[in-house]
Amino acid sequence: MDSEGNAMDIKVFGKWDTKDVKIADITLSKQIGLVSKTIPHTFGKMKQRPFQKEKMFIVERLVNKVMRSGQGKRKLSGKYIRGRGSCGKKMFAMRIVDEAFDMIHAQTGQNPIQLLVQAVENAAPREDVTRLKKGGVAYTQAVDVAPLKRLDESIKNIALAGFYGSFNNNTPASEALAKEIIQTAKNDNNSTSLKRRNEIERIALASR
């Protein structure tokens, strides 16, 4: 509330409004949280009960993925990817996302949260494979991906693409993340997260 008792608009990082952000993919409308917070940090309150991630602000979910260590033991295009020193440091991860949003707005003139939502929708895989075993024989079967899992995979791949774009070079993590969000929102074929989505769906198509 302001000094006159009127309700004040809450803007993310004090800059970005979520009131006009639109979700085009209705299958993800319940999973993409747009409850705006000036500082996207819930201090782990939503980890106590299952499926609370549906209510978590989409920007905080991106920040949490930026905090991860990357691929761990698995490789991405033959490289071990690490999180540019942001592992477990939420304030540092928020600074990366904040700087990335500033770059997105400077390059496109659009609300970076709207572009993030578009990027998440575009990078979300619709099909994946699961491993089944019958009569001692293991095989893969294509399955539809649940909406919450689609969102998880999409945000993870966008964050990993930011790591990949700044790995072993002088590109700042925020710049690589901003570039990935812009490319994915525009369905650019150079987007790493879109390539990963297409690869997942290609494997699923072969397993039908």
In a domain, 173, yes or no: yes
Cα separation, 48 vs 80, in Å, equals 32
Q: For residue 85, name the pLDDT band (cuts at 50, 70, 90).
A: low
Please provide the size of the chain in residues: 208
In a domain, 19, yes or no: no
Q: Are 124 and 154 in contact (CB under 8 A)?
A: yes
Residue-wise pLDDT tens digits, 154-207? 998 998 888 878 777 788 889 999 999 999 999 998 998 999 999 999 999 988
Q: For residue 82, name the pLDDT band (cuts at 50, 70, 90).
A: low
Cα separation, 107 vs 164, in Å, equals 21
pLDDT of res. 102: 95
Torsion of Cα atoms, 206 then 165 then 58 then 30, to 10°: -10
pLDDT of res. 4: 40
Q: Are 119 and 159 in contact (CB under 8 A)?
A: no
In a domain, 148, yes or no: yes
Cα separation, 142 vs 179, in Å, equals 32
Print the domain residue range for 71: 26-206
Please count the structural domains in the chain.
1
In a domain, 16, yes or no: no
In a domain, 3, yes or no: no
pLDDT higher at 68 or 61: 61
In a domain, 55, yes or no: yes
Q: What is the CATH number of the domain that holds 108?
A: 1.10.455.10
In a domain, 6, yes or no: no
Residue-wise pLDDT tens digits, 97-136? 999 999 999 999 999 999 999 999 999 999 998 888 888 8
Q: Are 129 and 143 in contact (CB under 8 A)?
A: yes
pLDDT of res. 7: 36
